[in-house]
Amino acid sequence: MTKIVLSLGGSILVPSLESHTISRYVEVLKKMASRSQVFVVVGGGGEARRYIGVTRTLGINEAASDEIGIMITRINASLLMYALGDAAYPAVATSYQEARVFAESGKIVVMGGVTPGQTTDAVSAVLAETVSADVVINGTSVDGIYSADPKKDAHARRYDRMTPQELLGIISAARLDAGSNTVIDIVAAKIIERCGIPLVVIDGRRPENLSEAVCEGTFTGTVVSDTACSLFPF
């Protein structure tokens, strides 16, 4: 059975408690899990940013603020895990090895943050390497990787396919611009380059995009891989 690591940023799943989209992902994830072993890494979203904002007003250092952020990612992950019911392993993995053991059940494995300073992207990449995943899917708020921020540059073009080295080149260039944002952080990109596992960046705001990619092979997004082979459907 193929293994999929899905990174769901908190801004997609839990932008705030009032505007969460967890229920929209439940059936989609179950459908994906009927064909593949699925791991889901959940971010902190707006609630984590609210808590971290408070820690800074209290003079709490960045390492401790990161720990609090990790707690929020695990609360978000717990919400998803319980919403999935029997389809998910009944505990949130707190380490990569725990995720690997939980996967022996054949159920969806859900986890949040692991290490201070690591983003959801980086956790997903390390997890993929740990479990020898076939693909990492990053469900984000844009429909792929662009040559520049499409919200700021009307001439930015979306890449259908690129190599990990090309991705690192884009991220490195963007980091020289103090005001820019990137879809994938540089740590995750370096791990993807190291392990050679394909990465797919896809618009996660519509949950059906994920199942359509995995089950039907139809999606709009960017594939980051050194090989030209077709990834989907699984």
CATH of 3-224, one of 3.40.1160.10, 3.40.50.300, 3.40.50.2020, 3.40.1350.10: 3.40.1160.10
| Backbone region of residue 152 per phi and psi (left: phi > 0; alpha: psi in -120 to 50; beta: other values) | alpha
Cβ–Cβ under 8 Å, residues 234 and 4: yes
Question: What residue spans define the domains of the chain?
Answer: 3-224
Cβ–Cβ under 8 Å, residues 42 and 77: yes
Cα gap 133→100, rounded to integer Å: 11
pLDDT tens for each residue of 124-133: 999 999 999 9
Q: What is the pTM of this model?
A: 0.91
pLDDT tens for each residue of 161-217: 999 999 998 887 654 433 334 678 889 999 999 999 999 999 888 888 888 888 888
Pairing of strands 135-140, 199-203: parallel
Q: How many CB atoms lie within 10 A of CB 30?
A: 17
Q: How many CB atoms lie within 10 A of CB 102?
A: 21
pLDDT tens for each residue of 142-164: 889 988 878 788 888 999 999 99
